[in-house]
Chains A and B, each alone.
Chain A
Amino acid sequence: MRPIIKVENLSKQYRLGTRDSAYTTLRETLVARARAPFSRRNGHSEQTIWALRDVSFEVKPGEVVGIIGRNGAGKSTLLKILSRITEPTAGCIDLYGRVGSLLEVGTGFHPELSGRENIFLNGSILGMSHQEIQSRFDEIVAFAEVEQFLDTPVKRYSSGMYVRLAFAVAAHLQPEILVVDEVLAVGDAQFQRKCLGKMGQVAREGRTVLFVSHNMTAIQSLCRRAVWLDDGRVCADADAGQVVADYLQRSFSALGQQNWDEIESAPGNDKVRIRSARVRVEEGAPDGRITVHTPLNLEFEYWNLVPDTCLNLSLVLHNEEGVLVLNTGPVKEPVWHGRPFPAGLFRSVCRIPGDLLNDSPYRVTLYVIKDQSTAVFVYPDILMFEVCDTAERAGWYGKWPGVVRPDFEWTTEQAATSESQHLSNGR
């Protein structure tokens, strides 16, 4: 089958800092010209980065391809080139179909305009004709569930309504190729499910979808194939399940271990110094991946420099959203807790059981506490690790709600049969 998208040796170079302070002032240009009137920018050795490098792949019609990679790997740049927002530096793309891109929901929404007006404005910005919008208007409104507020300016909408309306317009875009960037990050769980359902429907109609997401569960469920970009290059391009598994394994390099062997340069002060910190996977995933089921050990080695001090460690875990998930200390530690420490090297291990943390990257802040009351030393973000979701769930791939994800015991029993129910009602 012939491809509908053909990407060949695509490269994109950015001048460093381009995104923030790219625009020069007129004065700078004039000064530069005045200093070197005969050189046309040759003298500059500007620092550049390659956002994409020699990226090649093909997509067949009807394929749903997930694009994954860390932040800054080039995913968004690829989508921007595909949607013709920016140009490549080298290479080319052949498109054999109309592209609709959805890099953000609600692009061009104007807060002063009503919902109805914004549907038309946004639809036309996304490339729909007036007729197309007109014919799908009712569908869009129904999908967004905003019937009563059609003539209210969207600035008075709740953020949920706003996002629903914005996605509804985009969801009714019907190009042959749909390019979607992380739109699932918005909205509540129920709405996300609706969006994913809609995307599945789009794919079922035979449209081609390129889908960027950090939600690996969604990628695995929606896409058959995944392209993994790393540092601007295609790192893997294969079956989605395989690529996602490899990606998750590799991406856990976060900050699993830190060592300071020289006591003089180790972090700390004249009371205590840290020698090492590491995340150790106890068992479970043999590939070193931390899933929601994996028990973890957080190990710390530290020198106590003041003899006869009562020390204890205290850990604070923050998740991706910055929520303080828990604080733990060795209150029930049997040997040393509450006892004065002699000077020397100590090792403390905190075991976090499996089936407790929800999937998220975590940051660990270490507190060294004296006499169970005063913090002697604080080291923020001493460890970072990521707990991954497993893909064993079927049917639903939104993020599991909640800060923690414990595996509680459940029991269900039949309390009465339907006959005895009748009996009890009759009585």
Chain B
Amino acid sequence: MQVSKLSSKVETSFENRIAQSTDQSTHTIKTTSDNQASNSFADTLPEQPLVKIAPGKSGSALRVRDLWAYRELLFFLTWRDVKVRYKQTSLGAAWAILQPLLTMLTFTLLFGKLAGIQSGDIPYPLFSYAGLLIWTFFANAITNSGNSLVSSANLITKVYFPRLIIPAAAVIAGLVDLAIALIVLVPLMIYYRVSVGFGLVMIPLLVVICSLLALGIGMWLSALNVKYRDIRYAIPFLIQLWMFASPVIYPASLLPEKWRWILLLNPLTGIIVNFRIALFGGQSFEWNSLGVSAVVTIFILFYSAYSFRRMERHFADIV
């Protein structure tokens, strides 16, 4: 009754000249006088609230379940990062190869030829390319994830999802570059006639540890970056120092015996050294340094997750 009365009123409304049909207008009016659908819906209400919003709630635990529920978003954000990067640059995927390759050539010239660094049985170009591969991945992952939260401010202030996804997606997107750069290794190794062995099976594990380490540091930096914008300028500096503190372009054996333990404290050492062994063989894995890397990685990951959760609550307010 009411509906028909109202819709007849619609006929007289001026807007009808613009509105092609009265369909939508009558719909919406009906809404306000229609309560039946809601009754049936009420029966399905859960006993306990699905979500309880209260101060300090979200900082209390590592919500793995929540993260799992948003795994598709993680995939899409990663996919976006990769896609956009290759769409915007004219060289596209070639950058993933060029970056470590050109750096390798530079260092080969500088350290391999001029400084004459000894890289053992492996030719220096191969030696440094392998190190630079994993290093470039690590450095890019930290940079991108460290800046990720700030550059996603528009998402953070408009939509809810576990914020951890943002720095995580930045790290995972870097894996694509790593995979591409790894392919270049094949012709290089053929050229230098280096054979591969069963050590290759270790590579996925090493990449996982390296990713987790990058994630741990990246998410901590990204959270700090929201609060202190200085971080953005500190990251490149940190990376530069870290590169020379890691056996990327020189072998660990270059250091005198009594200083080598310092290198071991660096979680990247175990990863890079074992990465080379996995690729080129020639010696057994250095389990000690790998153990250090794993332990430090786990520690950093937990600490970062804890402090990330603590800071996460205020992201939307201050970003």
- B51–A61 contact, CB under 8 A? no
Q: Give chain B residues whose Cβ lies under 8 Å from the Cβ of A255.
A: none
Expressed in whole angstroms, the minimum distance between the Cβ of B98 and any Cβ of chain A is: 21
Can you list, as one digit per residue, whether each of B229-259 has a CB less than 8 Å from chain A (1) or not (0)? Answer: 1110000000000000000000000000000
- Looking at the assembled complex, report how far the CB atom of A192 sits from the nearest CB atom of chain B, in whole angstroms: 11
| Interface residues as binary, B53-86 with A (CB distance below 8 Å gives 1, 0 otherwise) | 1111110000000000000110111011001100
Q: Is B88's CB within 8 Å of the partner chain A?
A: yes
By size class, the interface of chain B is 35 or more
Whole-angstrom distance between the Cβ of A150 and the nearest chain B Cβ: 16
Q: Produce 1/0 per residue, A79-105, CB < 8 A to B.
A: 011111111111111111111010110
Interface residues of B (CB under 8 A from A): 6-7, 9-10, 13-16, 18-19, 22-32, 34-35, 37-42, 45-46, 49-58, 72-73, 75-77, 79-80, 83-84, 87-88, 154-161, 226-231, 313, 316-319
Is B31 in contact with A222, judged by CB distance below 8 angstroms?
yes
Asked whether, in the complex, the Cβ of A117 is within 8 Å of the Cβ of B83, the reply is: yes
Interface residues as binary, A50-94 with B (CB distance below 8 Å gives 1, 0 otherwise)? 000000000011111000000000000000111111111111111
Do B53 and A81 touch across chains, with their CB atoms under 8 A apart? yes
Given contacts A85-B156, A85-B316, A395-B16, 19 further A-B contacts (CB under 8 A): A1-B42, A18-B318, A22-B317, A62-B38, A87-B58, A95-B53, A107-B158, A112-B84, A121-B80, A129-B72, A193-B19, A194-B24, A197-B23, A197-B28, A204-B34, A224-B32, A395-B26, A396-B10, A398-B15
Majority secondary structure of chain B interface residues (helix, strand, loop or mixed): helix
Total A-B Cβ pairs within 8 A: 215
Q: Which residues of chain A are near B160, meaning CB under 8 Å?
A: 83-85, 101
Chain B's closest residue to A22 (CB) is: B318
A 98-140 to B, binary, CB cutoff 8 A, 1 in contact else 0: 1101011001101011000100110011110110000000000
Chain B residue with Cβ nearest A401: B18
Chain A 308-332 residues near chain B, CB threshold 8 A: none
Q: Which residues of A contact B (CB under 8 A)?
A: 1-2, 4, 6, 14, 18-19, 22-27, 29, 60-64, 80-99, 101, 103-104, 107-108, 110, 112-113, 117, 120-121, 124-127, 129-130, 176, 189-190, 193-194, 196-197, 199-201, 203-208, 221-224, 393-396, 398
Q: Are B18 and A190 in contact (CB under 8 A)?
A: yes
